[in-house]
Chains A and B, each alone.
Chain A
Amino acid sequence: GAVVSQHPSWVICKSGTSVKIECRSLDFQATTMFWYRQFPKQSLMLMATSNEGSKATYEQGVEKDKFLINHASLTLSTLTVTSAHPEDSSFYICSARDLSTGTNEQFFGPGTRLTVL
């Protein structure tokens, strides 16, 4: 299947700083990528849909000014957590939709663990 990578896999930052997480589709083009957040022992909650060349669509309750999403190319989307605070500590997962498959299958990255001190 198609491969989606995330970088970094693990990051620790100080409160008040910003952190950027990259999501890349390695062997297919993804006009749409999705960003999820997963708290320990909980399910994946969709934060936003990232659209190449246009603004991201945020889910209700997600602060778009805090979680900046940029989808500058067909293979890269970035999520920037601005002015991070300890409550932003979580596991962030991206996924990309491969529209070349008949079922538009979604492939997930390995996730990024963010710890804010």
Chain B
Amino acid sequence: AQTVTQSQPEMSVQEAETVTLSCTYDTSESDYYLFWYKQPPSRQMILVIRQEAYKQQNATENRFSVNFQKAAKSFSLKISDSQLGDAAMYFCAYRVSGGYQKVTFGTGTKLQVIP
């Protein structure tokens, strides 16, 4: 069974600084997707970034980037120039490739941004 582990229940970062959220996963599949989702207090899940496992290049989306280490099954999220609006729960997630495959979520990391 696939599992996703986030070992940091809470993290804090000073505004404008950089923070890295950790995620590891376990799978025997070779073709899959990894995601980071943001859940602000409104509870709306927002996709932050996506990584296809077959791509060696790390995904980036503006201030958000990932460090994908396939052999180590590690998928960390780096947030640069942190902003107050980045404060939220962040969930790492995994899905096997294929249209009907379910998404498995990690336990989440609560990020606090300090002004």
State the A residues within 8 Å of B (CB).
1, 32, 34, 38, 42-46, 49, 91, 93, 95, 97, 99, 103-106, 108, 110-111
Interfacial chain B residues near A34, Cβ < 8 Å: 102-103
Is B44 among interface residues, defined by CB-CB distance under 8 A?
yes
Contact assessment for B103 and A110 in the assembled complex, using a CB-CB cutoff below 8 Å:
no
Chain B, residue nearest A104 (CB): B99
Contact assessment for A43 and B44 in the assembled complex, using a CB-CB cutoff below 8 Å:
no
Across chains A and B, the number of contacting residue pairs, with CB separation under 8 Å, is 47
State the B residues within 8 Å of A (CB).
33, 42-47, 50, 52, 91, 95, 98-100, 102-108
Interfacial chain B residues near A97, Cβ < 8 Å: 99-100
Q: A93-B43, A106-B103, A108-B45 are in contact. List 11 more A-B contacts (CB 8 A).
A: A1-B47, A32-B99, A43-B108, A44-B45, A44-B91, A45-B105, A49-B102, A104-B98, A108-B44, A111-B43, A111-B44
